[in-house]
Amino acid sequence: MKEFEKNIRKVVPYVPGEQPKIRNIIKLNTNENPYPPSNLVKKAIENFDSDTLKYYPDPTMEKIVAKLADYHKVSKDMVFVGVGSDDVLAMAFMTFFNSQKPLLFPDITYSFYDVWAELFKIYYKRIPLDEEFKIKKEDYYIENGGIIFPNPNAPTGVFESLDTIRNILDNNKDVVVIIDEAYVDFAKESALSLIDEYDNLLVVRTFSKSRSLAGLRLGYAIGNPLLIKYLNDVKYSFNSYTLNALSMEMAAASIDDEEYFKETIKKVINTRENAKKTLSELGFEFADSQSNFIFAKHKSFSASIIFEKLKKNNIFVRYFNKERIDNYLRISIGTDEEMDKFFECLKKIINELD
Ligand code: PMP
């Protein structure tokens, strides 16, 4: 180790899912939408005037903020936009949880939460989920600090009802509560309906999953204008969390195509429900997913072996080599055709192992 390295802060980074360079694979590993973005997005790219790239993009992202506000029927000062919801979340951690008091989140959840907490030196506590990966709401009580969890949760896909969220909010009025709704479009209901009632609630969303725009990088938060003001104060201190001009046009076009958006969601949900049946027939057990992925474990065979065998066949799912979940595979929902090929291969693997 070099002498100067001793003075460098050591960080344990987030390990992202694999993004293979080859395209002739079945990619069920990072919860993207298997369907392409709306045709209106394609048109927005074609119509984009590249001469305008000589200017900096609008730092207030007015066009997107206004469209999102209109879409969600909230005022513009309740919307905060960032480069992917990861950036919005990281910003929210910096803004709201920079405290010595604990930030609470589930023990099985989006693994970026620990990474940011460590990075920003935020004291945190992981709260165990129950046997069915559900949140025990009575364990969420804190007078100073904060609360965050995804709904549906990741990587389990388990959805918590609005009653649970309301209960947690009622018990924690003095801290910021963040509900990370990356996958909520595949579930029943959103905590956005509570936003006018609870001024300490921040709901975070993304265009990466239901809108088929993971490559675009757009995330946003909706909350009381006061929370959004605090977020903006931190954002403008960095001047780096602004979408580029072309992305803003593409995002606006996506919002304009509600019909296509609804259609792809319906297809994914349908495929998910069929996949649950096939997984059961093949001897898998799984938490009841309300998301665009299923977190499943086989009754007899190890997840790591199945993962490797699928990979050899150019089928990528996600395997987390972590305590308590190392018997599980997280399978993103692909098109029906992709899922047929996946199940064909999975059946062969299971038969060979039997
Ligand atoms: N929250 C959760 C729970 C996620 O699984 C992801 C995707 N990995 C994100 C946030 C971040 O998504 P993005 O940055 O693409 O908006």
Eight-class DSSP state of 210: T
The first and second tokens of residue 348, run together, are 């062969």
pTM: 0.96
Per-residue pLDDT at 22? 78
Cβ of 95 below 6 Å from ligand 1 = no
In a domain, 130, yes or no: yes
What average pLDDT does range 198-204 have in this prediction? Answer: 98
Cβ of 152 below 6 Å from ligand 1 = no
Cβ of 181 below 6 Å from ligand 1 = no
Q: Which of 145, 143, 146, 126 is nearest to 135 (CA)?
A: 126
Cβ of 334 below 6 Å from ligand 1 = no
Which atom of ligand 1 lies closest to the CA of 150?
A: 3
In a domain, 43, yes or no: no
Q: Which of 179, 206, 235 is nearest to 86 (CA)?
A: 206
Residue 274 and residue 158 in one domain = no
Reply yes or no on whether the pLDDT at 2 is more than 80.
yes
pLDDT tier at 12 (50, 70, 90 boundaries)? confident
Per-residue pLDDT at 18? 85
Query: Exposed, middle or buried: residue 218 (CB in 10 Å: 0-12, 13-18, 19+)?
Result: buried
The domain total for the chain is: 2
Residue 78 and residue 186 in one domain = yes
pLDDT tier at 9 (50, 70, 90 boundaries)? confident
Per-residue pLDDT at 10? 86
Residue 56 and residue 66 in one domain = yes
339: CB partners within 8 A, 6+ apart: 271, 274, 275, 278, 333
Q: In whole angstroms, what separates CA 326 from the centre of its chain?
A: 21
Give per-residue pLDDT as tens, 323-336: 889 999 999 999 99
Report the CATH number that the domain containing residue 227 is assigned in CATH. Answer: 3.40.640.10
Q: Which amino acid is at 191?
A: A
Expressed in angstroms and rounded, the spacing between residue 249 Cα and the centre of ligand 1 is 22
In a domain, 44, yes or no: no
Per-residue pLDDT at 156? 97
Q: Using N-to-C axis directions, what is the helix angle for 112-119 and 84-96, rounded to 10°?
A: 40
Reply yes or no on whether the pLDDT at 239 is more than 80.
no
Cβ of 160 below 6 Å from ligand 1 = no
Give per-residue pLDDT as tens, 54-69: 999 998 999 999 999 9
Give per-residue pLDDT as tens, 41-53: 999 999 999 999 9
Distance between CA atoms of 183 and 273, rounded to whole angstroms?
16
What average pLDDT does range 230-256 have in this prediction? Answer: 91
What is the span of the domain harbouring residue 210?
49-257
Residue 91 and residue 104 in one domain = yes
Expressed in angstroms and rounded, the spacing between residue 47 Cα and the centre of ligand 1 is 29
Cβ of 182 below 6 Å from ligand 1 = yes
Q: Which residue, of 191, 226, 257, is where some domain finishes?
A: 257
Q: Which residue, of 257, 283, 305, is where some domain finishes?
A: 257
Which atom of ligand 1 lies closest to the CA of 87?
A: 14
pLDDT tier at 170 (50, 70, 90 boundaries)? very high
pLDDT tier at 81 (50, 70, 90 boundaries)? very high
pLDDT tier at 108 (50, 70, 90 boundaries)? very high
In a domain, 42, yes or no: no
Per-residue pLDDT at 7? 87
Per-residue pLDDT at 98? 79
Residue 148 and residue 240 in one domain = yes
Would you list the DSSP string of 70-101? HHHT--GGGEEEESHHHHHHHHHHHHH--SSS
Reply yes or no on whether the pLDDT at 200 is more than 80.
yes
Reply yes or no on whether the pLDDT at 297 is more than 90.
yes
pLDDT tier at 242 (50, 70, 90 boundaries)? confident
Helix (H, G, I), strand (E, B) or coil at 8: coil
Distance between CA atoms of 179 and 159, rounded to whole angstroms?
12
Query: Exposed, middle or buried: residue 69 (CB in 10 Å: 0-12, 13-18, 19+)?
Result: middle
